[in-house]
Every structure is written in structure tokens, then in C-alpha cells.
Amino acid sequence: MVEENIDEVEETPVETFEVNYACLRCGTAVSNTELSRLPEIKCICGFRVFTKVRPPVVKTVKAI
């Protein structure tokens, strides 16, 4: 039996890190993927002002 090897050309995906937003009014965190699915950028509370929340920077701290 000969197994077929299908080489899938996999493009290197553009690194899309998730950006989180937080509602200025209630502080509900929404990811940009969630926001893009919404017809309009709006929080569940009705507020439409969001602040960008940066994901915590992973730091390698050597505590020696």
C-alpha cells in the first residue's frame, strides 16, 4: 500500500494576538474578535467607549 503524502502549503499566519477591550463604564472585557462579530461596537451595558487592554507582558523574571 502506498500512502499518499499530501503536502499542504501552509502559509505562515500573520501573528494576530488578541486585543482586549474594556468598557469604560462597566469594565466588561471584550476581545476584538468578539467585537468584530457584533454589528456595532457596543457593550452589553450600552456604552460604546472602550479602552484597549493590553495583555500582560510575559516577563521572565528570575527570582534568584
- What are the residues binding Zn ion (CB under 5 A)? 23, 25-26, 28, 43, 45, 47
Q: Establish how many alpha carbons lie within 13 A of residue 60's alpha carbon, considering only the half-sphere containing its beta carbon.
A: 0
Least separation in angstroms between CB 3 and Zn ion: 54
State which residue, 41 or 45, has the beta carbon closest to Zn ion: 45
Q: Can you give the C-alpha Rg of the chain in angstroms?
A: 20
Least separation in angstroms between CB 34 and Zn ion: 13
Least separation in angstroms between CB 48 and Zn ion: 9
Measured CA to CA, the distance from residue 48 to residue 17 in angstroms comes to 22
Kindly state the cell numbers that stand for 8.
Answer: 499542504
